[in-house]
Amino acid sequence: MAQMTMIQAITDALRVEMKNDPNVLVFGEDVGVNGGVFRATEGLQAEFGEQRVFDTPLAESGIGGLAIGLGLQGFRPVPEIQFFGFLFEIMDSVAGQATRLRHRSGGTMNAPITFRSPFGGGVHTPEMHADSLEGLMAQTPGLKVVIPSTPKDAKGLLIASIRDNDPVVYLEHMKLYRSFREEVPEGDYTIELGKADVKREGKDVSVFAYGAMVHASLKAAEELEKEGVSVEVVDLRTIHPLDIDAIVKSVEKTGRAVVVQEAQKQAGIAANIVAEINDRCILSLEAPVVRVAAADTVFPFSEAETVWLPNHKDVVEGIQKVLNF
Amino acid sequence: MTNKQTVSELMDHMLQVGNSVETLQILNEEGEIVNEAAMPELTDEQLKELMTRMVWTRVLDQRSISLNRQGRLGFYAPTAGQEASQLASHFALENEDFILPGYRDVPQLIWHGLPLYKAFLWSRGHFVGSQYPEGLNAMMPQIIIGAQIVQTAGVALGLKLRGKNAVALTYTGDGGASQGDFYEGMNFAGAYNAPAIFIVQNNRYAISTPVSKQSKARTIAQKAVAVGIAGIQVDGMDPLAVYAATSEARKRALNGDGPTLIETLTFRYGPHTMAGDDPTRYRTKETENEWEAKDPIVRFRKFLEKKGLWTEEEETKVIEEAKEAIKEAIKLADQTPKQKVTDLIENTFETKTFNLEEQAAIYNEKESK
């Protein structure tokens, strides 16, 4: 075991899988000798060589096509999109091509690709760096979307993503890269995709969150505990497909639910969770499910992040709303 | 280039790069060899085989159009006129080479080993049509124009990393050369010096838009300059020129000299697709006649007849064989079981998700009734 930040855990996962499987290739803009703009691929090119870890021209769509083509030759590509706001450049390769390949070939071809990409607000990035676009991905059949919130989850989920034989979009919240350390097991372990994790047990209300909002929710839960409210915080970890079992189990226990996301209310995946809860356990609900989300505007100018991004106070407010319904 | 030139002269020099592109032709419209130096080495048997494939594919086009009109085929993009461009380029490949076709490039897939009934199932919209046999190195026809170009860079890099003695070859049209992916794919392949061949079949029209509205560039071949790779424009109605160019590009790629862009000047005699396109709205009869006079089959027939390699009887035999094979293939396509929603669910992930498990159960029940 070692104390690691999330970014160190990500690098460690990449190293483990590169050692484990010679077909794993890491590529993207500045991921080679530079070790990535966030140092996520630090040291990998030196260790595995330029044939396994390499830079690409500055063109996201080209990176997507490269990944699909390499996948067709039996490689296991782990391309990086420098910031997920640049998704729109590569949208066809991800949503129009990679995710459809198994289906359109009648199950005879596949795209074992893990698209890694940073996103998320709170670090005052320039335009189109921090946008939460996971909702677009979650609407894409044939794709899995993973968003870790802790170093330990990050490593196990990334190894599982790389080993998955279908495409995975693996989103790394920039605010969480170095915000805290955690014990991370050494070597090889996986966390099953599509499985949520109860980060805090509670009995009065269920909070479903992912990414940075897991920590906002945990902070809100701590605050409310002082008032005698017992909050269960469920970290979804994979936002598509959802862990329906875990969601239903928690709602049936608490009878109340809040869904928390950093994305705008019209985006993200909160609406989908509300719909699943309504479909599957409406008879357990004491109150309507409340959503905590950002305003339906474009991601804010960086100075406005603090007033725009949802935080633990918004989560507290949301929880009080369902409790006082 | 000296430092005594004016800014204007330097700019003009760049313009001349495009204007200096020449068209490779080996066989003229009369079936005469006009460029002995560029003549590819093909045996008599190979020449006959190439003619056979071209004639066969012309029949396939005629029958496909008619089967489409009868409602026995679905999506179909006519190929008549492009036989030299499609089949002579494919003729320069080996089985190990990987093809990434556009939606008009079904003939190349068939000659690369795709069973004809599967090509028909693809036209109708059935997943079995895209279940390729083991060892067929190809992707399904690509509908997103340009996507095949960036993917080709990846396949070519993969072949290079695997140390395989093979190339990745892709096709697009003149309109496709305006896409961002067209540039990106060629640029990536160039940057990695990957064994890729990019063929642009310039048939003058992207649906109704003439090539002159796509770009101010005089040729598409010159776009190779932008990414620093070899490029050539060939008479796409001349099977020998197309074969020679592709063959040379393949040789260079395998030799480690990187990718090549080949522009074939060709023409589709038919509409863009069978989905209601009417070429009389945007093409004149004169243009069509002018291109029909360049017919690749006519000129290749003249060439072979002069060499005593082709007779009317042989051609009739190929036509009859093609018709028979098409009849059999349509029968096989008809016999393919209809698709079920559960099939489609099955082909979405290696392991079904919770929601798909649930939906599979629902559709299973519906389908069992």
CA B287 to chain centre: 22
Q: Are residues B119 and B164 in the same domain?
A: yes
User: B244 with B38: CB under 8 angstroms?
Assistant: yes
Alpha carbon separation from A159 to A12, A27, A188, B213 (Å, rounded): 10, 16, 8, 49
DSSP state of B141: P
Q: What is the mean pLDDT of the segment spanning B34-61?
A: 98
Residue among B122, B165, B192, B353 with most chain A CBs within 10 A, to mutate = B353
Measured in angstroms, the CA of B223 and the nearest CA of chain A are apart by 17
Mutation target to probe the B interface, by most B beta carbons within 10 A, among A50, A53, A68, A269 is A68
CB burial readout B118-156, b (16+ within 10 A) else e: bbbbbbbebbbbbbbeeebbbbbbbeebbbbbbbbbbbb
Does B4 map to a domain?
Answer: no
Nearest CA in chain B to A66: B154
Average pLDDT over residues B275-303: 94
Q: What is the CATH number of the domain that holds B136?
A: 3.40.50.970
DSSP class of B27 = B
Residues 6+ away with beta carbon under 8 Å from B168: A69, B97, B98, B99, B100, B152, B153, B155, B156, B159, B194, B195, B196, B197
Q: Whole-angstrom Cα distance, residue A207 to residue A179?
A: 22
CA-CA distances (angstroms) from residue A83 to A89, A119, B336? 11, 6, 46
Residue B71 makes CB contacts below 8 A (sequence gap 6+) with: none
B278 domain-assigned = yes
Task: Kindly list the residues from chain A whose CB atom is less than 8 angstroms away from the CB atom of residue B191.
Answer: 56-57
Q: Which of B151, B344, B356 sits opposite A65 (nearest CB)?
A: B151
Please give the residue range of the domain that contains residue B276. 41-336
Angle at B264 between CA B251 and CA B222, to 5 degrees: 80
* Together in a domain, B227 and B271: yes
pLDDT of residue A290: 98
Both tokens of A324, joined, read 């006082």
How many Å from the N-terminal Cα to the C-terminal Cα in chain A? 45
User: Strand A231-235 relative to strand A197-200: parallel, antiparallel, unpaired?
Assistant: antiparallel
Q: Is the pLDDT of residue B1 over 60?
A: no
Percentage of chain B exceeding pLDDT 90: 95
Q: Of B344, B237, B247, which Cα lies nearest the Cα of B299? A: B237
Q: pTM for this structure?
A: 0.97
Known catalytic residues of B are 268, 272, 282
Residue B154 to residue A72, Cβ atoms within 8 A: yes
Nearest Cβ partner for A104 among B140, B157, B191:
B140
In a domain, B17, yes or no: no
Q: Are residues B223 and B81 in the same domain?
A: yes
Q: Please tell me whether residues B218 and B357 are part of one structural domain.
A: no
Chain A: give the shortest CA distance to residue B159, in Å.
7
Measured between CB atoms, which of A57, A93, A106 is closest to B131? A106
CA dihedral B29, B32, B33, B34 (to 10 degrees): -60
Position A129 scores a pLDDT of 97
Residues B100 and B233 in one domain: yes
Inform me whether the C-beta atom of residue B354 falls under 8 Å from chain A C-beta atoms: yes
Alpha helix stretches (DSSP H) within A240-311: 244-254, 270-281, 305-308
State the average pLDDT over residues B179-187: 98
My answer on whether B169 and B299 are in the same domain is yes
Residues B219 and B352 in one domain: no
| CA B55 and chain centroid, separation | 16
What is the structure's pLDDT at B110? 98
Looking at the structure, tell me whether residues B244 and B296 fall in a common domain: yes
Query: What pLDDT is attached to residue B136?
Result: 98
Give the span between the Cα atoms of A196 and A194, in whole angstroms: 7
Cross-strand partners of B262? B199, B232
What is the pLDDT, as a whole number, of residue A1? 77
* A94-124 residue pLDDT tens: 999 999 999 999 999 999 999 999 999 999 9
Whether residue B313 is contained in a domain is answered as: yes
Cα-flanking dihedrals φ and ψ of residue A259, to 5°?
-110, 130
Query: For position B2, what pLDDT does the model report?
Result: 58
What mean pLDDT comes out for the span B191-201?
Answer: 98
Structural domain contains residue B16: no
Residue B35 lies inside a defined structural domain of this protein: no
User: Tens of pLDDT along chain A (325 residues)?
Assistant: 799 999 999 999 999 999 999 999 999 999 999 999 999 999 999 999 999 999 999 999 999 999 999 999 999 999 999 999 999 999 999 999 999 999 999 999 999 999 999 999 999 999 999 999 999 999 999 999 999 999 999 999 999 999 999 999 999 999 999 999 999 999 999 999 999 999 999 999 999 999 999 999 999 999 999 999 999 999 999 999 999 999 999 999 999 999 999 999 999 999 999 999 999 999 999 999 999 999 999 999 999 999 999 999 999 999 999 999 9
Asked if residue B268 and residue B240 are part of one domain, the reply reads: yes
Residue B52 lies in a domain: yes
Which residue in A27, A29, A56, A61 has the most chain B C-beta atoms within 10 A of its own C-beta, making it the best mutation to test that interface? Answer: A61
**Out of A66, A107, A244, closest to residue B354 by CB:** A244
> For the segment A50-96, what is each residue's pLDDT rounded down to a tens digit?
999 999 999 999 999 999 999 999 999 999 999 999 999 999 999 99
- Indicate if B363 and B225 belong to the same structural domain: no
Instruction: Report CB contact under 8 Å: B131, A107.
Output: yes
Alpha helices in B336-353 (DSSP H): 341-346
Count of structural domains, chain B: 2
- Is B369 found in the same domain as B257? no
Smallest CA-to-CA distance from B270 within B52, B82, B113 is with B82
Quick one: tokens of A39?
């140092």
Interface confidence: ipTM more than 0.85: yes
Together in a domain, B231 and B184:
yes
Q: Does B199 map to a domain?
A: yes
Determine the angle formed by the axes of helices B354-368 and A244-254, rounding to 10 degrees. 100
Taking the C-alpha atoms of residue A303 and residue B12, their distance in angstroms, rounded to an integer, is 48
Q: What is the mean pLDDT of residues B173-177?
A: 97
Whether B300 shows a pLDDT value over 90: the answer reads yes
Q: pLDDT tens for residues B113-168?
A: 999 999 999 999 999 999 999 999 999 999 999 999 999 999 999 999 999 999 99
